Amino acid sequence: MCGIWALFGSDECLSVQCLSAMKIAHRGPDAFRFENVNGFTNCCFGFHRLAVVDQLYGMQPIRVKKFPYLWLCYNGEIYNFKQLQKQFGFDYQTLVDGEVILHLYNRGGIEQTASMLDGVFAFILLDTANRKVFLARDTYGVRPLFKVLTDDGFLGVCSEAKGLINLKHSTSLCSKVEPFLPGHYEVLDLKPSGKVASVELVKFHSCKDEPLHVACDAVEALPSGFDLETVKSNIRILFENAVRKRLMAHRRIGCLLSGGLDSSLVAAVLLKLMKEININYPLQTFAIGMENSPDLLAARKVAAHIGSEHHEVILNTEEGIQAIEEVIFSLETYDITTIRASIGMYLVSKYIRKKTDSVVIFSGEGSDELTQGYIYFHKAPSPEEAAEESERLLKELYLFDVLRADRTTAAHGLELRVPFLDHRFTSYYLSLPAELRIPKNGIEKYLLRLSFEDSNLLPKEILWRPKEAFSDGIASVKKSWFSILQDYIDQQVDDLLLEKAAEKYPFNPPKTKESYYYRQIFEKHYSGRSSWLPHYWMPRWVKATDPSARTLKHYKSAAQE
């Protein structure tokens, strides 16, 4: 996890522009480099490093003697770099996994490069010999990337939008800073002036398609067919493989553990594999919640079962409320459910950074979207419509849960790893018949639970624990975090303000006081950039005005049972 930043064709002095690069310093607390491009005085790279692999030669932009005309700035982890080296006979000059991008590009161009990378990535690749700039981002946008391209060819690229919004240029940049689309690469011509012109934007991978890099995966061909035993076995094999490949790190590994199904499965498989490869330190797991909240109690049970070194962070009301503005600034969104769920994750990440030496943090993001874990899936009119909704949610992850997971951890210099979003695991799960993937017997994620039922990885009551909304799972039995937030915000936003919300904010107008409160804070930091969020996250097939599962009829919190 790092912070990348680059400019091409800047009219302003680069020493002034580079102040913008410091806006993402939190992403790489270990080192910083600012480097001009030879022959192009108005082009430069900025890089903030979190050293997870190759402590000696891991600085960027990466340049190697074999390809003196290539410059690479990337944020991510490429899990199959050793397999690709073996398959194509690449001669690496560093231990940095991202070096493989240079070799793949030299061998087969940008299309093959993007398609053959098994991992999470956002990168800027400059080829001065052919006068090309390439941008690319992984399938689900696990690693963030923003860009601004003006009509006169000035290009700015950054891990977070906050590194671009204050750039100086002769024309306005305001409306043009936008997220780079996941699963795409862009080709741009580099002119002698340092300015660029976009040539094409190409989608190189869809979540349903089996990725090209399967050809050099550690797990070979799986048994075909959709009989239940075969499917369950394949799910276990691929999920374990997804966790195993993510063990690549020279820094300590930890795991977020809410006590829900997803994070518990990740933690259990992770600890099992760490033992198998003789990692000689205990796995630290981390939970956050108010005193005696459902998540804390469930996480405690899981940690005891798997034998992790467990840490609990007690959330107090005042701390949670005080964090709201910092969280919105970090997230760069005003989406209601994203902000609610981010507060706990932001505070637990803060604790991990201050109190422990864990840096590489595993988490359960992506499972709800992939395995139909949201409670509203019970209301799907048909298995086919549920399958379509699952794909829609996966395509939009970069706007919601993946954004939350990246920003809340990156704000504290941690690197997130999300095995549920493994390319091969997701493409296999999405290839299963729609009927197999829907909730059954009133239980969401039925197939995933069933696949691990006989594994003894988790206690039965955790494996079959119903879905908790994150903001509710961290609540105390006496009063939910949801209710506490509502009470506080009710005093901050006047009824009259809400009545006129649509006049003040015509795009995505706030419908509740909570939504209005978040929007005010967002506009304070990112005025006029409401289009970064195309729409609010809301459940489908139900008449909902609030995204919380708590408002749906099917939902019963532990406190109500």
Q: Report the distance separating Cα 113 and Cα 107, nearest Å.
A: 9
Number of domains in the chain: 2
- The answer to the question of residue 214 being in a domain is no
Identify whether residues 50 and 187 lie together within a single domain: yes
- The answer to the question of residue 209 being in a domain is no
Number of Cβ atoms within 10 Å of the Cβ of 341: 27
Identify whether residues 241 and 95 lie together within a single domain: no
Between 17 and 451, where is the model more confident?
451
- The answer to the question of residue 559 being in a domain is no
Confidence bin at 142 (pLDDT 50/70/90): very high
- The answer to the question of residue 213 being in a domain is no
| CATH at residue 473 | 3.40.50.620
User: Which tokens go with 415?
Assistant: 């690197």
Identify whether residues 540 and 485 lie together within a single domain: yes
Q: Is the pLDDT of residue 539 over 80?
A: yes
Q: Is the pLDDT of residue 557 over 50?
A: no
Identify whether residues 22 and 129 lie together within a single domain: yes
Q: Is the pLDDT of residue 243 over 80?
A: yes
Helix (H, G, I), strand (E, B) or coil at 435: helix
Coarse DSSP helix, strand, coil percentages of the chain, rounded to the nearest 5 percent? 40, 20, 40
Contact status, residue 467 vs residue 444, Cβ threshold 8 Å: yes
Residue 475: which of 358, 281, 355, 340 has the closest Cα?
Answer: 340
Helix (H, G, I), strand (E, B) or coil at 221: coil
Identify whether residues 227 and 199 lie together within a single domain: no
User: Which tokens go with 430?
Assistant: 């999405």
Percent of the chain with pLDDT over 70: 93
Concatenating the DSSP letter of every residue in 141-189 gives -SS--EEEE-TT--EEEESSGGGTTT---SS--GGG-EEPPTTEEEEEE
Identify whether residues 174 and 109 lie together within a single domain: yes
Q: Report the distance separating Cα 44 and Cα 17, nearest Å.
A: 10
Q: Report the distance separating Cα 438 and Cα 539, nearest Å.
A: 16
Contact status, residue 190 vs residue 126, Cβ threshold 8 Å: yes
| Maximum Cα–Cα distance across the chain | 69
Number of Cβ atoms within 10 Å of the Cβ of 260: 25
- The answer to the question of residue 379 being in a domain is yes
Contact status, residue 532 vs residue 161, Cβ threshold 8 Å: yes
Identify whether residues 363 and 236 lie together within a single domain: yes
Q: Is the pLDDT of residue 474 over 60?
A: no
The pLDDT, as a whole number, for residue 556 is: 46
The pLDDT, as a whole number, for residue 476 is: 52
- 364 annotated as belonging to a binding site for a ligand: yes
Among 178, 203, 228, where does a domain finish? 203
Out of 137-141, 250-254, 307-311, least confident range: 250-254
pLDDT averaged over the chain? Answer: 92
Contact status, residue 146 vs residue 177, Cβ threshold 8 Å: yes
- 9 annotated as belonging to a binding site for a ligand: no
The pLDDT, as a whole number, for residue 459 is: 93
The pLDDT, as a whole number, for residue 561 is: 37
The pLDDT, as a whole number, for residue 113 is: 98
| CATH at residue 103 | 3.60.20.10
Q: Is the pLDDT of residue 56 over 60?
A: no
The pLDDT, as a whole number, for residue 157 is: 97
Q: Is the pLDDT of residue 479 over 80?
A: no
Residue 343: which of 163, 473, 493 has the closest Cα?
Answer: 473
User: Which tokens go with 419?
Assistant: 């095995």
Residue 373: which of 206, 261, 239 has the closest Cα?
Answer: 261
The pLDDT, as a whole number, for residue 481 is: 77
Among 160, 176, 203, where does a domain finish? 203
Query: What are residue 436's DSSP bridge partners?
Result: none
Sign of CA dihedral 375, 381, 387, 392: negative
Number of Cβ atoms within 10 Å of the Cβ of 169: 18
Out of 10-14, 267-271, 541-545, least confident range: 541-545
CB-based burial label for 290 (10 Å; 0-12, 13-18, 19+):
buried
- 363 annotated as belonging to a binding site for a ligand: yes
Q: Report the distance separating Cα 463 and Cα 452, nearest Å.
A: 8
Q: What is the CA radius of gyration of the chain?
A: 23
- The answer to the question of residue 42 being in a domain is yes
Catalytic residue among 2, 43, 73, 255: 2
Q: Is the pLDDT of residue 144 over 80?
A: yes
Helix (H, G, I), strand (E, B) or coil at 227: coil
The pLDDT, as a whole number, for residue 228 is: 97
**pLDDT 10s digits, 145-184:** 999 999 999 999 999 999 999 998 887 665 589 999 999 9
Identify whether residues 230 and 195 lie together within a single domain: no
- The answer to the question of residue 255 being in a domain is yes
- 14 annotated as belonging to a binding site for a ligand: no
- The answer to the question of residue 212 being in a domain is no
Q: Is 216 a catalytic residue?
A: no
Among 173, 203, 233, where does a domain finish? 203
Q: Is the pLDDT of residue 16 over 70?
A: yes
Q: What is the reported pTM? A: 0.94
The pLDDT, as a whole number, for residue 475 is: 54
Mean pLDDT of 6-21: 90
Q: Report the distance separating Cα 262 and Cα 367, nearest Å.
A: 6
Q: Is the pLDDT of residue 229 over 90?
A: yes
Out of 34-48, 93-107, 372-386, 542-556, least confident range: 542-556
Confidence bin at 549 (pLDDT 50/70/90): low
- 233 annotated as belonging to a binding site for a ligand: no
Percent of the chain with pLDDT over 90: 79
Domain of residue 465 covers: 219-554
Query: What are residue 36's DSSP bridge partners?
Result: 44
DSSP conformation class of 52: -
Identify whether residues 371 and 484 lie together within a single domain: yes
CB-based burial label for 415 (10 Å; 0-12, 13-18, 19+):
buried
Identify whether residues 278 and 388 lie together within a single domain: yes
Identify whether residues 271 and 129 lie together within a single domain: no
Contact status, residue 70 vs residue 125, Cβ threshold 8 Å: yes
Angle at 208 between CA 468 and CA 531, to 5 degrees: 65
Query: What are residue 149's DSSP bridge partners?
Result: 155
Helix (H), strand (E) at residue 201: strand 196-203
Identify whether residues 67 and 197 lie together within a single domain: yes
